[in-house]
Structure 1
Amino acid sequence: MKTGLDHQQQVADVQVMPVAPASSAPVPVLILMGVYNGARHLAEQLESLAAQDHVNWRLLCSDDGSSDGSQQIIRSFAGQNRHPLELRQGPGQGFSRNFMQMIRNLEESPEYISFSDQDDIWLPHKLSRALTALSKVPATVPALYASRQWVWESDTQRKRLSARLQRPAGFRNALVENIATGNTIVLNPAAAGLVREAARLTGDVFAHDWWLYLLISGVGGRILFDEEPGLLYRQHGANVIGEGAGIRAQLRRKYAVMQGAFAQRVGGNLQAMQAVAPLLTPDTRSTLERFTAARQSHLPCRLWRFYQSGVYRQSRASRFGFWGGAALGRV
């Protein structure tokens, strides 16, 4: 295995855009959509894919055991749309395993890969902006594009922009926070080939998008973050992972941290990175080792080792929360 890219670096080569949309390049894109009982909103999402100004795409839907007519909606869309569409059976074990199975089964000739939820609405420029940005990266360098989104309460039609980056993206950030929301991610072919092979070495992860952010930054790839929102991120009661705001949502997150949920997710991510350690750069392997040692230490050594590892979160409030959790052994 490789021991990282030639351009090894601790923090990924981050570019925070805007990127001016260009005319759609003719490159093919494979869209991976995880589906489970999404009939209520699925048709709207599919129609937003059909309305993309980049028209050279095909869709792979992995249905995880729906019982609400989702498969019929997908088949109907396939019959009315000229884009190639394949419907597969998922593992029936949750959204993360569903996406990871699709990643492991990617074809041997990588192409651009986009990830889609079943209940959002893509804005027409979503794919074209991502491809314009990724086209500026050398073909041999793995690159991940992500963007802000409109956090959208469809019942009330209220929407707000998701947070902008306050600090650079990179592996030290990815160890404790995910800024690459899965429904915005697009990978270039070099990244697609890398993640396919890495997924075959990796067990279960909490969320495929957080794993992708860790992996691409960990190998010294490029993280491209677009300030322009690319979709309406629908919020509803059935969201597996949402963007809830307000006091109530914050209290739920803090309670989950105290119950050990965050520490469990971080621990799973560390196991996943250790499984692909030969792919990481020397710097990121060293950071991984220091961070792992910090989690296993007692106060006050634990806080000092976390500080030495250089990990960080984006916002001031989340940084305070991280250090509070670290002091209590909940990281």
Structure 2
Amino acid sequence: MSAQGLLQVLMSTYNGEKYISEQLNSILSQPYQSIQILIRDDGSSDNTPIIINQYKQNYPERIRLIEGKNIGVVPSFWTLMQHADLSADYFCFCDQDDVWMPHKAQRAVQLLAEMEKEDETFKSNIPAMICTDTQLTDGELNPTAIWPGMPHLKPSFYNALIQNIAVGATVTFNRATLELLMHKKKNVNIADIQMHDWWAYLVVSCFGKFHFEHTPSIYYRQHGGNAVGGEWTILQKLKKKWNSFLKHKGNKNLLVQQAKEFKRLYGSEIVNPEIRIQLDLFIEPRKNIISRIGYLRKSKLYRQSLMEQLLFRFLILVGYI
């Protein structure tokens, strides 16, 4: 690994002409200079590809563009991982409309390097991933709140099965994580993955090291109708948490489907017997109230707040999960 390990930014864009220049400028002006940017445009109909190509002409050695058809967020980021440069040391997900804080790249690489060195036996061969809080802003980057302000409890596989705390735009991971995510890439059912960042949290929490940093690393721009986080009322938060739990594809709960896909791909590699037990218990059908109560007595799964945990247990009891 070089003195400044190469960080490759994986950015998916779609009709982002209004804000993408500000985001690219914030990345290219990082004091940490060993950065390359791989962009996949998800079939934009505005000037986004034109703007990116202009930057590409100015920074031919730092920016690469894949112009694709509209396939959606998760498949687009998955494609980016498939085309990532395996000679890079670190990788991060990136959205088009945020702005990086000046310390983002340097701090992420520093944390990952420290995590890799904690065990000299594994060094950079152990999957390591970090994510952070964000500084919520309005469309003009005026600060509003810190979000999500988690975790309250320790991140772990028992949390990752039923909750995502990894804000994708803040996620950075090492090469070992990318190799772990991609080594079964031809067989992954993308439709069963809730989000690319959640999947990464799930996989790394089982096989590697995960760290949540409470210092924001990005200005997380909220614009149009997508206001979230600190701006919400308690009732709005409850409604979102309820709806996120009730996502279904036909009669199949998406949380369970994601867990099944994880077991199909990685089940044979799990060495922790308790993780195996908890994964199987979560996937196992619960056909009546007796089996649901029995499950809750055995389950070690948890969400990050008492309110969320009570909602999880209630939805198990009524058969939604």
Interval containing the TM-score (normalised by the shorter chain): 0.7 to 0.9
Are residues 225 and 63 of structure 1, via their aligned partners in 2, closer, same or farther at CA, if it must alter by over 3 Å?
Answer: same
> Which stretch shifts more, 101-110 or 138-147?
101-110
Q: Do 2:260 and 2:283's aligned partners in 1 also have CA atoms closer than 8 Å?
A: no
Q: What is the alpha-carbon distance in structure 2 between the residues aligned to residue 155 and residue 58 of structure 1?
A: 27
**Aligned-pair CA distance for 1:139:** 1.3
**Aligned-pair CA distance for 1:249:** 3.0
Matches within 5 A, 1:1-331: 25-81=3-59, 83-109=61-87, 111-136=89-114, 137=116, 138-155=123-140, 157-162=142-147, 163-204=149-190, 205-219=193-207, 221-237=208-224, 239=226, 243=229, 245-247=232-234, 249-254=236-241, 256-257=243-244, 259-261=246-248, 264-276=253-265, 277-283=267-273, 284-293=275-284, 295-331=285-321
Alignment deviations for residues 275-307 of structure 1 (CA, whole Å, 9 cap, x no partner)? 3222333432322111111x5342132133134
Unaligned segments of structure 1, at least 5 residues? 1-23
**Aligned-pair CA distance for 1:66:** 0.1
Are residues 260 and 27 of structure 1, via their aligned partners in 2, closer, same or farther at CA, if it must alter by over 3 Å?
Answer: closer
Q: Do 1:59 and 1:83's aligned partners in 2 also have CA atoms closer than 8 Å?
A: no
Q: What is the alpha-carbon distance in structure 2 between the residues aligned to residue 246 and residue 160 of structure 1?
A: 13
Q: What is the alpha-carbon distance in structure 1 between the residues aligned to residue 291 and residue 239 of structure 2?
A: 29
Are residues 292 and 235 of structure 1, via their aligned partners in 2, closer, same or farther at CA, if it must alter by over 3 Å?
Answer: same
Residues matched between the structures, number: 305
Q: Do 2:98 and 2:218's aligned partners in 1 also have CA atoms closer than 8 Å?
A: yes
Are residues 74 and 199 of structure 1, via their aligned partners in 2, closer, same or farther at CA, if it must alter by over 3 Å?
Answer: same
Which residue identity does 1:322 align to in structure 2?
A: F
Are residues 59 and 170 of structure 1, via their aligned partners in 2, closer, same or farther at CA, if it must alter by over 3 Å?
Answer: same
SS at match of 1:200: helix
Q: What is the alpha-carbon distance in structure 2 between the residues aligned to residue 52 and residue 303 of structure 1?
A: 52
User: What does residue 3 of structure 1 align with?
Assistant: none
Q: What is the alpha-carbon distance in structure 1 between the residues aligned to residue 29 and residue 254 of structure 2?
A: 36
Which residue identity does 2:127 align to in structure 1?
A: P
Which residue identity does 1:128 align to in structure 2?
A: Q
User: RCO greater where, 1 or 2, for CA within 8 Å and sep 6 or more?
Assistant: 1
Which residue identity does 2:210 align to in structure 1?
A: I
**Aligned-pair CA distance for 1:322:** 1.3
User: What does residue 120 of structure 2 align with?
Assistant: none
Q: What is the alpha-carbon distance in structure 1 between the residues aligned to residue 126 and residue 181 of structure 2?
A: 13
RMSD of aligned C-alpha atoms? Answer: 2.4
Are residues 80 and 248 of structure 1, via their aligned partners in 2, closer, same or farther at CA, if it must alter by over 3 Å?
Answer: farther
Q: What is the alpha-carbon distance in structure 1 between the residues aligned to residue 199 and residue 130 of structure 2?
A: 14
Q: What is the alpha-carbon distance in structure 1 between the residues aligned to residue 291 and residue 113 of structure 2?
A: 45
Q: What is the alpha-carbon distance in structure 1 between the residues aligned to residue 254 and residue 225 of structure 2?
A: 21
Alignment deviations for residues 79-136 of structure 1 (CA, whole Å, 9 cap, x no partner)? 2336521111345221011111222333454631111011111101111111111111
Are residues 252 and 195 of structure 1, via their aligned partners in 2, closer, same or farther at CA, if it must alter by over 3 Å?
Answer: same
Q: What is the alpha-carbon distance in structure 2 between the residues aligned to residue 42 and residue 58 of structure 1?
A: 16
SS at match of 1:39: coil
Q: What is the alpha-carbon distance in structure 1 between the residues aligned to residue 55 and residue 303 of structure 2?
A: 41
